[in-house]
């Protein structure tokens, strides 16, 4: 059973009808509910596993031969329904719309936790990463296509792949880590941002004009020797850096105590990593400002006014 954290109702599944007609009326569907209650479950774990369309479940229900045939048919239908040809025929999508759609469906740790809760979401993310890593190994291609054909495909595919590691790209092209980071970021049109962050960025641009770099359009990042990785910042304008931090994801100190565990880490460690991220650009002469999502959500006009005044003041 799962319990609705909004009204206390318990059931094996919290459907949209519950939120729209039987709950408090605050949410129209499960998506809005989970945004308000990160990590909340809407389906009982046993029910989700037992009703999922898997080869194991179909075999149990229809037998080995019929179950396997139904599984292969299901896979074929799923593959076609996810193709550009299908989306173009059914919805009239352009290639750009299809690519944006696929980008929105990409797996991330944050999305896994929102869908399945923190414990199960982290476990599913680690399993997903392990599977993805295996599908890029030579053994996987040999297992799937045979020794000769598998080896040939493995070599051909990896020759086409672009280097997404600043360290490897830096070594390959004999350029600095910052230059390699800029090349990698230039390949990516947009990073995932929350609706609230997009509203925050748009509100600033309405006041002072187009910002130099944002996660909405042209991302800005730097190689951090303090963290031994490259980091991406939410907003850069001139020599100003703004981080729009989610209360949960960045462990807002006004909400979470130092020893609170968030996504398997202590809140104090999450904040320390964010501090090193800011120090990376502070050491380069940038001015930094952190805006918490709850501050913007509760005081939008005054927050935007203060941020815009700060940007204009620091430019002088």
Q: What is 199-230 written as a DSSP string?
A: HHHHHHHHHH---SEETTSS-EEEEETTTTEE
In angstroms, rounded to a whole number, what is the distance separating the alpha carbons of residues 202 and 196?
10
Q: Output the pLDDT for position 296.
A: 95
3-state secondary structure of 93: coil
Residues of the chain with pLDDT > 90, as a percent, come to: 30
* Sequence ranges of the chain with CATH classification 3.40.960: 187-315
Supply the mean pLDDT for the chain: 83
Identify the residue with better confidence: 167 or 161: 167
Per-residue confidence band for 103, with pLDDT thresholds at 50, 70 and 90 = low
Reply yes or no on whether the pLDDT at 114 is more than 80.
no
Per-residue confidence band for 106, with pLDDT thresholds at 50, 70 and 90 = low
In angstroms, rounded to a whole number, what is the distance separating the alpha carbons of residues 136 and 133?
6
Region 224-236 average pLDDT: 89
Q: Output the pLDDT for position 308.
A: 95
Classify the phi-psi angles of 25: left when phi > 0, otherwise alpha if psi is within -120 to 50, otherwise beta: left
Reply yes or no on whether the pLDDT at 189 is more than 60.
no
Per-residue confidence band for 59, with pLDDT thresholds at 50, 70 and 90 = confident
Identify the residue with better confidence: 138 or 208: 208
Region 11-39 average pLDDT: 83
In angstroms, rounded to a whole number, what is the distance separating the alpha carbons of residues 207 and 125?
39
3-state secondary structure of 235: strand
Q: What are the tokens at 164?
A: 């997404």
Predicted structure pTM score = 0.50
Whose CA is closest to 263, among 119, 114, 115, 107? 119
Beta partners for residue 13, in sequence order: 43
Angle (nearest 5°) at CA 277 between 271 and 280: 145
In angstroms, rounded to a whole number, what is the distance separating the alpha carbons of residues 241 and 303?
16
Question: What's the sign of the alpha-carbon dihedral 226, 232, 237, 242?
Answer: negative
Query: Of the ranges 102-116, 124-138, 244-258, 272-286, which one carries the lowest mean pLDDT score?
Result: 102-116
Reply yes or no on whether the pLDDT at 107 is more than 70.
no
Per-residue confidence band for 291, with pLDDT thresholds at 50, 70 and 90 = very high
Instruction: Choose the CATH number for 187-315 among 1.10.101, 1.10.150, 3.40.960, 2.160.20.
Output: 3.40.960
Region 123-148 average pLDDT: 76
In angstroms, rounded to a whole number, what is the distance separating the alpha carbons of residues 104 and 33?
19
Reply yes or no on whether the pLDDT at 280 is more than 80.
yes
């Amino acid at each position: 059973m799962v319990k609705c954290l909004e009204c206390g109702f318990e059931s094996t599944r919290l459907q949209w009808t519950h939120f729209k007609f039987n709950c408090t009326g605050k949410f129209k569907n499960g998506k809005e509910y989970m945004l308000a209650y990160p990590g909340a479950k809407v389906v009982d774990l046993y029910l989700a596993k037992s009703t999922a369309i898997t080869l194991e479940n179909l075999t149990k229900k229809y037998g080995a031969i019929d179950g396997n045939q139904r599984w292969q048919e299901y896979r074929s239908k799923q593959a076609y329904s996810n193709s550009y040809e299908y989306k173009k025929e059914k919805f009239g999508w352009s290639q750009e719309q299809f690519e944006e759609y696929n980008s929105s469906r990409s797996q991330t740790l944050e999305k896994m936790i929102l869908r399945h809760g923190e414990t199960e979401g982290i476990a599913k993310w680690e399993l997903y990463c392990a599977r993805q890593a295996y599908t890029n190994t030579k053994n996987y291609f040999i297992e799937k296509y045979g020794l000769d054909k598998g080896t040939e495909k493995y070599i051909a595919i990896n020759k086409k792949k672009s280097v997404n590691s600043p360290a490897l790209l830096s070594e390959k092209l004999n350029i600095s880590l910052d230059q390699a980071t800029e090349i990698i970021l230039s390949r990516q049109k947009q990073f995932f941002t929350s609706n609230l962050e997009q509203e925050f960025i748009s509100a600033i641009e309405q006041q002072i004009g187009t910002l130099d770099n944002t996660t909405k359009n042209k991302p800005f990042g730097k190689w951090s020797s303090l963290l031994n990785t490259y980091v991406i910042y939410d907003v850069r304008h001139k020599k100003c850096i703004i981080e729009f931090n989610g209360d949960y994801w960045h462990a807002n100190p006004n909400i979470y105590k130092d020893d609170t565990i968030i996504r398997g880490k202590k809140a104090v460690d999450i904040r320390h990593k964010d501090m090193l991220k800011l120090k990376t650009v502070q050491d380069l002469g940038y001015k930094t400002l952190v805006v918490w999502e709850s501050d913007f959500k509760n005081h939008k006009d005054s927050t935007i006014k203060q941020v815009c005044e700060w940007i204009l003041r620091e430019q002088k």
